[in-house]
Amino acid sequence: MRSNIEKNATANVMQRALKAACRAFGRNMSVEEKGRIVRFTSQADLDEATISQVVAVAQRGFGNGMGREEVLEHLHGDLLQLIYVDQTADSASFGPFSHRGPVTANTSTLVGFASYLNLQFSVRTSPGTVEEDVNVLYLSGVVIDESCQGKGLSRLAMKEALEEMRPRALALRTQNPAMHSAMKKTVNSFGFDSEMFPSFSGDTNFQASEIAKRVSEMLQEKNYNGEKFTDRGTYGRALNKTVPKVNEYTEKLFESLGIDREKGDSIIMVAIFKDHIRDVLRTEDGITG
């Protein structure tokens, strides 16, 4: 049986390797070239060793004593992504959801995960109109190891999921301003019109309000405010020990909504794609008609 000293020494070596891999970003290689996303359909596809790695990454990423069962709750969904970075200089080329053989500890390091629910809601676009079915991609959980945060990996994973699921709307619940920033950058990177709610300007969208309400009901929130898309005391505490620096717009938005992270408040964010994402991506893929 290995001693605690040996276990700690191994953990320290792995952490140094991880930090070295993450520092490599920006050195002649893009995130797409260094990053690799492995796609699974459920938690059941993961072996125990991988699950243990995911839990360890989440605990480092949140840095606030998150337990194993709490982490595993975020792994449920219709789509699960494991996010790796390559430690080698000659990284394999990156492709959407490509699993290029076994990802081993010798060449790649697990640095995060993201999980999604593919939801179908019947909502109205405006008061008095007939309900229509809307496909909503809900980001149920995402975390990046603290050593790799701020590198664009969560945005890369979100972009991959949108390309596969091609929803009409994207939604997530968070108390972390950095997630708002990542979501905004992701939906804007597609090059077609989209709107995010709630907004600092106070602009409202009836369909977004309907979607946020349905998400809140699904999550069984008890103190949901439909005007602000917020819920008080959702988590009971701040999930992240620290929050990365974000842009001024996002900071002001969270301040205006009165989000108190220490009390566990949260916000439901909804992005509505004005052009149907399926049609836009079909055109980009060279498919018409």
DSSP label of 78: S
Return d(Cα 2, Cα 154) in angstroms, integer.
35
Strand, coil or helix: what is 12? helix
Decide if 104 is inside a domain. no
pLDDT band of 173, cuts 50, 70, 90: very high
Question: Is 240 inside a domain boundary?
Answer: yes
Residue 199: inside a domain: yes
Tell whether 24 is covered by a domain: no
Neighbouring residues of 63: CB distance < 8 A, sequence distance ≥ 6:
146, 240, 241, 242
Q: How confident is the model at residue 285 (pLDDT cuts 50, 70, 90)?
A: very low
- Residue 227 inside a domain? The answer is yes
Q: What is the pTM for the complete model shown?
A: 0.77
Residue 286 confidence (pLDDT): 41
Which region among 67-76, 123-132, 185-194 has the lowest average model confidence (pLDDT)? 185-194
Which phi and psi angles does 93 have, rounded to 5°? -65, 150
**Structural domain range at position 178:** 168-289
Q: How far apart are CA 211 and CA 217, in angstroms?
A: 10
Give tens-digit pLDDT for 239-269: 877 776 778 888 888 999 999 988 999 999 9
Task: List pLDDT tens digits, range 122-166.
Answer: 999 889 899 999 999 999 888 888 777 777 788 888 888 888 888
- Provide the pairing of β-strand 132-144 with 169-174: parallel
Q: Is residue 86 part of a domain?
A: no
Q: Is residue 234 part of a domain?
A: yes
The answer to the question of residue 91 being in a domain is: no
User: How many CB atoms neighbour CB 211 within 10 A?
Assistant: 27
Q: How many domains does the chain fold into?
A: 1
